Structure 1
Amino acid sequence: MAGSADTLFMPITNGEIPLGEGQWLYLGARAIDGGFPDELRAALVCEQSMRGAYLDLQMRGMNVSPRVDNTDRFSGALILIGKHRGENETMIARASNMVSAGAPILIAGDKTSGVAPLRKRIAAFAEIDGSLAKYHATVFWLRNSVDFASHFSSAKTSPQGYQTSAGMFSAEKIDKGSALLAEHLDENIRGDIADFGAGWGYLSAELLNRFSPRTVHLYEAHCASLEAAKENLSDYDKGQISYYWHDLTREAVGKKFDWIIMNPPFHEGRKTEPQLGVQFIEVAARSLKPKGGLLMVANVTLPYEKTLQQNFSKVNQLARRDGFKLLKAQL
């Protein structure tokens, strides 16, 4: 089904903007409906930090990395924005620094991404060359002629003592669900531990700061968050910590743990998607040693108890606060 990624490429595919020579930077990259024409496939250098979307592009033979840091200037940039204003502005500023002066920059997003107010903000300091709307999304384009970073003012603070950046889950403060889970970590959570959906490492940091697990394994689908976790846990790392850029909903874990801790995601974009948590629970059950345990936190409205009871012999609610519930399950 066509979407905002297809809209992003329309000015090129309909001939309004020539592809020309050289390579194009594609940030927030996602596949398009029907796949990329050969000419586009050869020209694009894609960046995608989310493991699932990265794998989709890789399977289509695209040149894709979780982070592009080329020193050579690109001939143009295509930016597919998401729901985080700060992350969108960072992508645009980076693209401006990575493409040639006067080169085209195309920016697109669906109606829920904030593309309309973003265009308005940019139009206040730069000339917009054109725009079009299709597939419930809008693309606009301009020439690389201004210092975008100096015009964007999205302020971001990180939780004290941690490194985070815009676009990461709970980048500016510890979320209440994770805080609830952290309070209930104790010396019984020991042995080989996995942190599913580890983000930038808060729960693992709490575990390592207070206890001495034999090993800790962080699984996270957002590469930038995982890189931040490495920095945030560096003081604790004595060789017992492992990091996996991993999509738990589609890649096998291949290890067994004594305990798994997790605050699973429950949004796909802006849409609530409880099935993500269900998949995390099912993977957790398959990834535990006999008599292993799961400690997870979830929004009180999410109906995970049935899945837990289907996969574990014992399920208990340990706490309930601030709209979250803490659940413990054992095989």
Structure 2
Amino acid sequence: MPAMPNSHEALVRNRSRLNGRVALLGASTPALLSELPSGGLAMSEHAGQAAALATQDHWQVCFGYDDPALTASGFDTVVVFLPKARSELDLRLSLARWLAAPGASLILIGEKKEGIAGAVKQLKAVAPGAEKVDSARHCQVWAASDPASLAEFDLTDWMEWHTVSHAGCSLEVCGLPGIFSQGELDDGTALLLETLVSSPLRAERVLDFACGAGVIGAWYQAWQREQGVPASVVDGVDVQSQAVICARATYERSGAGGDILASDGLSEVDGLWSAIVTNPPFHAGVKTDTSMTENFLREVSRHLKSRGELRLVANSFLPYESMIKRFIGPVERLYEDRRFTVYRAIRR
């Protein structure tokens, strides 16, 4: 069982504060739940973590902020773990206030290096009486009694729409707090799209790995339609609940075709594609973490048809080219500068 992060260890140290029915928002490892055998509800927006949490008895596990098992006013203690994105904390606190029963206690835990000191301002905006009750494992633990309750919680109220334009083709893209590159077209994705213009894929069906809000798939189909050529079907997969929700909304608004799946890597993905495209993540919190992409590269050939193409954009300093060559086949660089490289590989 994976070791607990510091924030989870800090909660175990303060387990005496967990009274009545307990909800944990942002739990990441089953090791924490095994330390709290009385059970409750645990929510994670990470598909792999949610699946791991579900192996523990006495716990109801929810995937994401729109899980139908999340119900109003049912919990006496709600624990909020600090999310990576500060914008997501307001969303998580709102869910906590909706879940909380009258008189409930709200606990916020986060690491100092991840910004817990600044996050306290957001906590006090909804729970002015919040107080720091512990400092341990490089974390702070804050608690508040009877936070301001919320009568309604509707995730669609948090959706924002913005326009993405590239190569004369525009579309509206859905965003939610915590999603990658919300509100803008990041530079790496823009370069990948540029290579789709200069070197279009030869594929009727494509998989977009780590699809985020669905920008690549929706834009590519819109661009193909503008060129007067048949649009490819572009399926998408992402580990984050908000990304899956946003990608489906983006596809629906733009009329794009393709299935959007939740999966940690390719573990829940079946099928073969003629092309797979990706702008994969390389951060886990504040650390560089390429393990997700490395695992993807080891597994991706099983999902590429013979002579199928992988097209990947990454920061140029990341050591992906040798792995692509080893696991997939010959590699060429379609674009390269000091910041980014777009690789194309054909499966042997």
Band of TM-score, shorter chain: 0.7 to 0.9
2:308 paired with 1:312:
no
In the alignment, what sits opposite 2:155? Answer: none
**Counterpart AA for 2:176:** S
Which residue of the other structure, out of 258, 261, 264, is the alignment partner of 1:247? 264
Q: Greater shift after overlay, 307-316 or 67-76?
A: 67-76
Q: Check conservation: 1:192, 1:216, Cα contact below 8 A.
A: yes
Q: Is the 8 A contact 1:190 1:259 kept in 2?
A: yes
Does the 8 A contact of 1:192 with 1:215 survive in 2? yes
2:201 paired with 1:203:
no
Residue 227 of structure 1 pairs with residue 245 of structure 2:
yes
Equivalent of 1:136 in 135, 138, 156: 138
Which residue does the alignment assign to 2:96? 95
| Partners of 2:78 and 2:96 within 8 A in 1 | yes
Aligned residue runs from structure 1 range 38-57, under 5 A: 39-41=37-39, 44-57=40-53
Distance 2:173 2:212 in 1: 12
Partner of 1:183: 194
* TM-aligned CA deviation for residue 231 of structure 1: 0.6
Question: Which amino acid is 1:19 matched to?
Answer: N
Q: 2:77 aligns to what? A: 76
Shift of 1:130: 4.0
Alpha-carbon separation, structure 1, partners of 2:311 and 2:159: 30
| Long gaps (5+) in structure 2 | 151-157, 164-171, 225-229
Alignment partner, residue 26 of structure 1: 24
189-198 or 24-33, larger mean C-alpha shift: 24-33
Q: CA deviation at 1:121?
A: 5.1
Give 1:174's aligned residue: 185
Q: Which moved more, 1:293-302 or 1:110-119?
A: 110-119
| 1:192-233 residue CA offsets vs partner (Å, 9 max, x unmatched) | 210001111000111111223453211111012111111100
* Residue 118 of structure 1: how far off its partner (Å): 1.7
* Residues 119-166 of structure 1: per-residue CA shift (max 9 Å, x gap): 255447711244212222221111133479xxxxxx996532211011
Instruction: Pick one of 270, 280, 284 that aligns with 1:264.
Output: 280
Structure 1 Cα separation of the partners of residues 89 and 122 of structure 2 = 12
Q: Which residue of 1 aligns with 2:227?
A: none
Distance 1:199 1:317 in 2: 24
Question: Do 1:83 and 1:114's aligned partners in 2 also have CA atoms closer than 8 Å?
Answer: no
Distance in 2 of aligned mates of 1:171 and 1:112: 23
In structure 1, the residue corresponding to 2:248 is in which secondary structure?
Answer: helix
Task: Identify if the C-alpha distance between structure 1 residues 121 and 205 changes in structure 2 by more than 3 Å, giving closer, same or farther.
Answer: closer
Contact 1:190/1:213, CA 8 A, preserved across alignment: no
- Counterpart CA distance in 1 for 2:238 and 2:23 is 25
Answer yes or no: is the 8 Å Cα contact 2:80–2:93 preserved in 1.
yes
Conserved? CA contact 1:130–1:141, under 8 Å = yes
Q: Which among 52, 55, 58 is matched to residue 59 of structure 1?
A: 55
**Richer in strand (by share):** 2
Residues 311 and 32 of structure 1, relative CA distance in 2, 3 Å threshold: closer
CA distance in 1, matches of 2:242, 2:232: 26
**Aligned residue in 1 for 2:114:** 113
Residue pair 1:221, 1:245 contacting (<8 A) in 2 also: yes
SS in 2 for 1:40: coil
Query: Normalising by the residue count of structure 1, what TM-score does the alignment of the two structures yield?
Result: 0.87
Task: Note the C-alpha offset of 1:35.
Answer: 4.2
Given the superposition, is the C-alpha separation of residues 110 and 189 from structure 1 closer, same or farther in structure 2, using an over 3 Å criterion?
A: farther
**Distance in 2, Cα, partners of 1:56 & 1:236:** 34
Aligned-partner SS, 1:307: helix
**1:319/1:37 CA distance change after superposition, 3 Å:** closer
1:100 aligns to what SS in structure 2?
Answer: strand
* Separation of aligned partners in 2, 1:164 and 1:96: 22
Question: Identity across aligned pairs (percent)?
Answer: 22
Structure 2 CA distance for aligned equivalents of residues 94 and 34 of structure 1: 21
Q: Which runs of 5+ in 1 are unaligned?
A: 149-154
Q: How does 1:207-218 map to 2 (within 5 A)?
A: 207-211=220-224, 212-218=230-236
The DSSP-based 3-state class of the residue aligned with 2:221 is helix
Aligned pair partner of 1:293 in 292, 306, 309: 309
Pairwise CA distance, 1:322: 6.7
Measure how far apart 1:31 and its partner are.
2.6
Mapped to 1, the partners of 2:249 and 2:18 lie a distance apart of: 42
